[in-house]
Amino acid sequence: MSGVNEQLRAARERTASPAAPDECLSRQELAELANEWIWKHHKKMAALSANYIGQLERGYIHWPGKLYREALRAILGVSTDAALGFVNTRRAVVKLEDVKRKQFIQTATGLGVGLILGGPLAALLETSQPTPIPHRIGATEIEQVRTATRVFASWSRIYGGGLAREAVMGQLRWSAGLLDATCPARLRSELFCAVGYLANVAGFMAVDANAHEEAGRVYRFALACAEQADDWHLRAEILSSMAKQATWMGQPDEGLTLAGQGLIRPDRLTAIERSLLHTDQARALAKMRRVGETLAAVGAADDHFGHATPADASPYMPYYSNARHAQLTGQALFDLALLGVRDPRKATNLLEMAAAGQPDYPGSRAICLTKLASLTMATGDPLQAAAIGHQALDIAGTIRSRRAIEELRELARCAATHQHLDEVDHLRRRIGALVPPTSH
């Protein structure tokens, strides 16, 4: 069965937008409301998107999953699936003799599939049969979740969050289902920690792909898992991630609050965890132009990091090295240097150290080099800055990271003053070819 689902589209268009009551629900608003409804009523992570709603309305998907149908019925005010044009095509009985022989051969051989089905090839991959959740779980399933987390974290470091965000969300939804399965009491805390840490990685990948609403929901779920497990170390890592997101979204006051929440009981944290949260405070304070407090937070971060021992190693922060610490403190001092209130040399040295010390983390290396190029372009030699910028672009072209894209946009703005120089003009043209225009 194919064709436009007019019933679903009409139901959406007669439902008022919560943001603009005189307008109808947009596809994005409907997707977000459905995600929130599923979380509120079932405590399940969902990832409906405007694109998915569009596929439903265009008739490419006829029978969404049970929770999706339930949420859409509630939001759009109908009592049956049929009222939204949903049809379970698996229940339709079609006799083979009623199918033209030519069409059968085409379907079997894969010829003309798009024309036969009336939809894009991607619709063939839609499934209403999710992987079943085991009734009983133990150490094996918990280790499988940890292994998946390590794989996704590695992909994110190498390729950016845009590559596998949907894949990690699928893994997270399945893993979250394990929380309702039977599990020995002695392993419950480990299970919540494993799923919570996977959620933290998924949240970071969503931020990296600019899916901030999704990231916020995932981070809140991750934090609930950490609280349930009473794991202060995982809690610190998640609150640090949330603080970074808030600051990056232009909400440094919220970022400062979240970092402060992570430091409520510093005696329960390792020196590295305290250092990380102080760098989050420093970045937020720098964005708020609170110079003295920024420098104090950087000093506190340096002090805690300097006192760290091998015993402070955390399974949630394997990335926190000398180079990573230099990157995080360097970013805070970068902001002060661009404001003209601090000498740029300290920030320059830290960003150079960070870029050199992370050869296996292309995303972080690209961001460090881009920031270094922006700082040099604004306060130093524009020709040297252009050379550094080209190094950053060589790496940035291999990853899918919205954070890296935004850093390149900032570099282009810093370079505008020197665009009369051929080397700088070439750099700006390369950035323009790689970076999509800003959407409004």
> Residue 412 and residue 399: Cα distance in Å, rounded?
19
pTM value? 0.71
| Residue type for position 314 | S
CA distances in angstroms from 28 to 16, 62, 371, listed in the order given: 13, 19, 33
| Residue type for position 297 | A
Q: Is residue 405 part of a domain?
A: yes
Residue 49's pLDDT is what? 80
Domain assignment of residue 325, given as a range: 321-440
Name which of 381, 308, 305, 296 is nearest 332 in CA terms. 296
Residue 128's pLDDT is what? 54
Q: Is residue 263 part of a domain?
A: no
Q: Residue 131 in contact with residue 178, Cβ under 8 Å?
A: no
Q: Is residue 12 part of a domain?
A: yes
Burial status of residue 110 (CB atoms within 10 A of its CB: 0-12, 13-18, 19 or more): exposed
Residue 102's pLDDT is what? 47
Q: Is residue 279 part of a domain?
A: no
Q: Is residue 214 part of a domain?
A: no
Name which of 437, 417, 337, 415 is nearest 370 in CA terms. 415
Nearest 5°: the CA angle 177, 167, 280 is 90
Q: Is residue 160 part of a domain?
A: no
CA distances in angstroms from 345 to 100, 120, 200, 331, listed in the order given: 75, 54, 34, 13
pLDDT in tens, the chain (440 residues): 446 888 999 999 999 888 887 888 898 889 889 888 988 888 777 767 887 888 888 887 788 888 889 999 999 988 888 889 888 765 544 444 444 544 544 444 444 444 444 445 455 555 555 677 788 889 999 999 999 999 998 888 877 777 778 889 989 999 999 998 899 999 999 999 999 999 999 999 999 888 899 999 999 999 999 999 999 999 999 999 999 999 999 999 999 999 999 999 999 999 999 999 999 999 999 999 999 999 999 999 999 999 998 887 777 887 788 999 999 999 999 999 998 888 899 999 999 999 998 877 888 899 999 999 999 999 999 999 999 999 999 888 777 788 888 899 999 999 999 999 999 999 999 999 888 766 54
55, 87, 119 — which closes off a domain?
87
* Helices 6-13 and 66-76, axial angle in degrees (round to 10): 40
**Chain CA centroid to CA 121, Å:** 26
- Phi, psi (5° rounding) for residue 69? -65, -45
Q: Residue 328 in contact with residue 367, Cβ under 8 Å?
A: no
Q: Is residue 59 part of a domain?
A: yes
| Residue type for position 255 | G
26, 55, 87 — which closes off a domain?
87
> Residue 376 and residue 419: Cα distance in Å, rounded?
14
Residue 438's pLDDT is what? 64
33, 60, 87 — which closes off a domain?
87
Q: Look up the CATH number of the domain holding residue 338.
A: 1.25.40.10
- Token output for 388: 């550094």
Q: Is residue 43 part of a domain?
A: yes
Considering its fold, how many domains does the chain have in total? 2
The DSSP-derived string for 205-222 is HHHHTT-HHHHHHHHHHH
